[in-house]
Structure 1
Amino acid sequence: MTSSPSRRAILRGKVNARPHPRPIGALAPMAFEDACSQCGDCARACPEEIILRDAEGFPVLDARTGACTFCGACTEACETGALIAGQPFPWRAAAEPNCLSLKGVQCRACEDQCDASAIRFRLMPGGSAQPLFDDAACTGCGACVAPCPAGAIALHPFNPTEPAQC
């Protein structure tokens, strides 16, 4: 899954900076940054308290503290139009190389937390298991991120037109 850096990232010399998920209903990156007033209403409205500010003051989802329930409180609170109900959420969970299961340690914490059943494990030679994430089933809620003892699960930009990564 690849994504091109935003105009703002290029101008600030942060071409390789990892993008962070915006709240549910966020416009496309440039339009979002133009429309968002950084007022913090979305963060105050979030009952899960998972909306924080990035280094530039824009709201981002932090799944390391909890999962998004897609309640829509953030979009309702946004008066600038930077968050609009019904926008697709273009983020999906994936395992990083430091995943314990990829290192041969038995761990399925992410699978246990996934209500959408989007994570399964494929047994590999040698007895280890490889986590597989079903992008079609994954909602991007982030419930699998916080319980990972290695911090190896992260939300990544998702483009449904790209071929699936298994």
Structure 2
Amino acid sequence: MDQNAIDLGRRSFLTGRHRTPPDRIRPPWSREASVSAACTGCGACVPACPQHIIALDADGRPALSFAAAECSFCGACSEVCPEPVFDRAGAPFEHVALIGANCFAGRGIVCQSCGDACPEAAIRFRPRLGGPALPEVSAERCSGCGACVATCPASAVSMSTRRLEVAHG
């Protein structure tokens, strides 16, 4: 690094703010730990995906984008991967859909496109007086496929890490 260059990333320490990397959605049956440990960044999974939702991120690791399509759980990415990145014995994803404040229904506009697109019927609509029904996501039913993300005209649907319920007793 040039001696006269300033590392702007260090300034966040002084202000108490730090930049956290965005949550990456990894391909189904892979986890952040397995991708970090075993993925070589060969990119074989990218052309194997028939939905074209896998791309290599800035670190050269596979990440999903549900902007145009959803995951069909075909398993093509795991079949072509030469490394032990994928574990098909577990759940495909650790995330569920999350509907944000930009949702049209929350602003009084009738829209149920996310519920119509959901193959698991995980998005239901709760009726309310004086406005359109509000969407609610059932975390138990949501597969994390991302079908609702691509169809939302307000870009109000995102993915959030599945919260594990802790048993008390």
Range class of TM-score, shorter chain: 0.7 to 0.9
Between 1:82-91 and 1:138-147, the stretch displaced more is 82-91
Matched with 2:24 is 20
Matched with 1:161 is 165
Matched with 1:9 is none
Which amino acid in structure 2 is aligned with residue 31 of structure 1? S
Matches within 5 A, 1:46-85: 46-85=49-88
Matched with 1:31 is 34
Distance 1:132 1:47, change over 3 A: same
SS in 2 for 1:43: helix
Using CA pairs under 8 Å that are at least 6 residues apart, name the structure with larger relative contact order, 1 or 2.
Answer: 1
| Deviation at residue 146 of structure 1 after TM alignment | 0.8
TM-score scaled by structure 2?
0.81
Matches within 5 A, 1:139-150: 139-150=143-154
Between 1:33-42 and 1:152-161, the stretch displaced more is 152-161
User: Structure 2: any 5+ residue segments left out of the alignment?
Assistant: 1-17
Q: What whole-Å deviation, never above 9, does each CA across 1:43-91 have from its counterpart, x for those lacking one?
A: 1211111111222221111111101110111111111111222232111
Q: What whole-Å deviation, never above 9, does each CA across 1:67-120 have from its counterpart, x for those lacking one?
A: 111011111111111122223211111111111111111100001111111111
RMSD: 1.7
Query: Structure 1: which 4+ aligned runs deviate by more than 6 Å?
Result: none
Identical amino acids, percent of aligned pairs:
37
TM-score scaled by structure 1?
0.82
Match of 1:125 among 115, 126, 129: 129
Kindly tell me the number of residue pairs found equivalent between the two proteins: 149
User: Structure 1: any 5+ residue segments left out of the alignment?
Assistant: 1-12
Matched with 2:7 is none
The yes-or-no answer on 1:152 pairing with 2:159 is: no
SS in 2 for 1:128: strand
| Deviation at residue 162 of structure 1 after TM alignment | 5.8
